[in-house]
């Protein structure tokens, strides 16, 4: 048996032969690569719209939850601090136009409560004047006689209530429209018994150093319409008071929405079919303020797009949608490629119950009629009116 020959040659070479074995190096052909790429592009084209829709849905849902959390924080602060705390929804533009900028709510700002005002002296009081004599409480905007049986006059002595007399013009009329006045028209006065009423200032007399205002017994912000001291006000009676001043804007606590997500003001408003926040073309469009009281309820809110405030007479609805759906001039556009937010089932409603201050998120329902905006809103909010029974996170 011969000895084994040592392997001194590369593997694959056989003694006496020039044939060499090499591993196969065959790859994909150009045709195969083109087929694979075509299949990949086809699948991507089919799946991309679905993926984009899922991402958009998640952004709207997440933004809605964040907004609700922001509103809940303001409400909790109002309760814990015993003050009026609010939230301001700022528009992209405050111009007097109807376009996508004035229709877009893009940021939330918290309105911080300030201490209530009860005069500079411990014995500061407000005196009732009832019934109101003609000419004593002039108001040029009201007909003659200017008041009815539910209006009560209030008189404040300037000596003990100097903050009320700081802003006067040359005609000795309160300058309550001044943005920097510490106390303005629309601020809230709390009288004994806990009832809160809206103040309407009517004048200031320098000779007697008296500030005059009125309240409406039929429009209390809290509780029943019964007068807070007696069933009928007593002319000449003086009682302590607290004026709850308008909250001031916080410079630190703000919430900017994710890119592409907006509060669509075109469809937002008060009541099942109200869109009071829709932009106007005749006047500058203001931010929307929602103010929570010390008991958690919504005490005041904007009642139109130009800055007037009042007591909400129904649930507050905020439409959360995509910026592409901002179409105030074509609010019923149902084109599946670019639908208006009202016609898009991916939009959501934030519903605020004014009697409790509770905020929830509700789905948008399909619109069956576009004969009028109220009719369309009733359709779209048909699920949102049940928001108290729906989960706050859709």
Q: What is the DSSP string of 343-388?
A: G-TT-EEEEE-TTT--EEEEEPPPP---SSHHHHHHHHTTTGGGGG
Specify the CATH architecture of the domain 55-113+248-389: 3-Layer(bab) Sandwich (3.55)
Per-residue confidence (pLDDT) for residue 170, from 0 to 100: 41
CA 287/CA 279 separation, integer angstroms:
10
- With the C-alpha atoms ordered 316, 321, 323, 328, is the resulting torsion angle positive or negative? negative
Per-residue confidence (pLDDT) for residue 310, from 0 to 100: 80
Per-residue confidence (pLDDT) for residue 229, from 0 to 100: 43
User: Which of 60-64, 115-119, 334-338, 370-374 tops mean pLDDT?
Assistant: 370-374
Q: Which of 213, 210, 208, 62 is nearest to 138 (CA)?
A: 213
Q: Which of 250, 197, 244, 242 is nearest to 224 (CA)?
A: 197
Per-residue confidence (pLDDT) for residue 177, from 0 to 100: 47
The DSSP 8-state label assigned to residue 117 in this structure reads B
What percentage of residues in the chain have a pLDDT greater than 90?
Answer: 40
| Confidence band for 393, pLDDT divided at 50, 70 and 90 | very low
What percentage of residues in the chain have a pLDDT greater than 70?
Answer: 77
Weakest-pLDDT range from 167-181, 311-325, 360-374: 167-181
pLDDT in tens, 4-20: 455 455 544 444 455 55
Per-residue confidence (pLDDT) for residue 126, from 0 to 100: 93
**Mean pLDDT to the nearest integer, 228-247:** 77
Q: Who wins on pLDDT, 311 or 287? A: 287
**Mean pLDDT to the nearest integer, 131-152:** 64
**Mean pLDDT to the nearest integer, 280-303:** 91
Three-state DSSP state, 37: helix
Provide the residue ranges of all domains of the chain, joining segments of one domain with +.
55-113+248-389, 115-246
222, pLDDT greater than 70: no
Mean pLDDT rounded to a whole number for the chain: 80
Per-residue confidence (pLDDT) for residue 198, from 0 to 100: 84
Q: Who wins on pLDDT, 151 or 284? A: 284
**Mean pLDDT to the nearest integer, 56-82:** 88
CA 369/CA 256 separation, integer angstroms:
34
Count helices and strands (H / E) in the chain.
Answer: 2, 18
pLDDT in tens, 91-139: 999 999 999 999 999 999 999 888 888 988 888 999 998 887 766 565 5
**Mean pLDDT to the nearest integer, 312-340:** 93
């Amino acid at each position: 048996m011969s000895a084994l020959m040592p392997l001194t040659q590369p593997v694959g070479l056989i003694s006496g032969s020039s044939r060499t074995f090499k591993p196969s190096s065959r790859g994909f052909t150009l045709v195969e690569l083109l087929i694979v790429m075509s299949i990949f592009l086809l699948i991507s084209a089919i799946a991309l719209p679905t993926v984009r829709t899922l991402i958009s849905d998640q952004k709207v849902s997440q933004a809605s939850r964040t907004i609700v959390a922001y509103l809940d924080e303001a409400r909790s602060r109002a309760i814990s601090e015993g003050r009026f705390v609010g939230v301001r929804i700022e528009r992209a533009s405050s111009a007097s136009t109807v376009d996508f900028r004035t229709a877009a709510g893009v940021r939330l700002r918290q309105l911080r409560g300030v201490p209530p005002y009860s005069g500079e002296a411990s014995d500061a009081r407000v005196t009732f004047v009832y019934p109101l004599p003609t000419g004593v409480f002039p108001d040029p905007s009201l007909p003659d006689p200017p008041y009815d049986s539910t209006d009560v006059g209030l008189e404040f002595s300037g000596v003990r209530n100097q903050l009320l007399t700081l802003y006067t013009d040359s005609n000795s009329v309160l300058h309550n429209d001044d943005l920097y006045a510490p106390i303005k028209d629309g601020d809230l006065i709390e009288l004994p018994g806990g009832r809160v009423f809206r103040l309407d200032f009517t004048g200031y007399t320098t000779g007697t150093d008296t500030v005059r205002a009125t309240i409406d017994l039929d429009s209390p912000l809290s509780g029943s319409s019964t007068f807070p001291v007696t069933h009928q006000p007593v002319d000449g009676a003086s009682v302590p008071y607290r004026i709850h001043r308008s909250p001031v804007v916080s410079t630190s606590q703000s919430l900017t929405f994710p890119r592409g997500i907006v509060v669509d003001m075109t469809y937002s408003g008060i009541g099942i079919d109200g869109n009071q926040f829709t932009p106007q073309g005749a006047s500058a469009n203001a931010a929307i303020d929602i103010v929570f009281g010390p008991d958690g309820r919504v005490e005041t809110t904007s009642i139109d797009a130009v800055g007037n405030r009042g007591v909400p007479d129904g649930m507050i609805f905020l439409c959360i949608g995509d910026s592409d759906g901002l179409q105030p001039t074509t609010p019923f556009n149902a084109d599946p490629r670019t639908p208006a937010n009202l016609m898009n089932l991916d939009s959501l409603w934030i519903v605020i119950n004014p009697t409790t201050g509770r905020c929830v998120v509700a789905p948008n329902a399909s619109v069956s009629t576009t004969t009028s905006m109220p009719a369309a809103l009733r359709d779209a909010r048909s699920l949102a009116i049940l928001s108290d029974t729906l989960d706050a996170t859709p």
